[in-house]
């Protein structure tokens, strides 16, 4: 839960192309959750291996998703990893995708240092 709050606060400070909204899984409607999963923007509850490792305890508490307005930059909070940063878009402009990811990592690292 503490991690989710730190991530939400940090990401709310992003600007420009990265500006977006954090959506906690707790309280999210099943319909919204399923739509985000179907659109490949959201992770599902862990498989049997993650469950056996207790990686899904307290599901969905402490988990969430952030995405920018264009849904080309996403952050998954407490899926399998604490943070998973994703940059994607239609087409083959890998330079733009990589540039967005590097910009995001640098901006986030200024706000919360990575270990």
State the binding site.
Answer: 40, 84
C-alpha torsion angle, residues 54, 50, 31, 12 (rounded to 10): 80
Both tokens assigned to 49: 């291996």
State the binding site for ATP.
Answer: 40, 84
Does the N-terminal peptide bond of residue 84 adopt cis geometry, omega within 30 degrees of 0? Answer: no
Calculate ∠ Cα 75-68-96, nearest 5°.
90
Q: Are 88 and 39 in contact (CB under 8 A)?
A: no
């Amino acid at each position: 839960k503490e991690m989710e709050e730190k991530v939400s606060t940090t990401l709310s400070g992003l600007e420009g192309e990265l500006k977006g909204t954090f959506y906690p899984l707790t309280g999210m409607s099943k319909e919204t959750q399923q739509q985000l999963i179907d659109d490949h923007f959201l992770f599902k509850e862990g498989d049997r291996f993650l469950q056996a490792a207790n990686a899904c305890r307290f599901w969905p508490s402490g988990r969430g998703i952030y995405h920018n307005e264009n849904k080309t930059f996403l952050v998954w909070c407490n899926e399998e990893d604490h943070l998973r940063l994703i940059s994607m878009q239609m087409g083959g402009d890998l330079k733009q995708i990589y540039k967005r990811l590097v910009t995001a990592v640098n901006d986030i690292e200024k706000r919360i240092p990575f270990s």
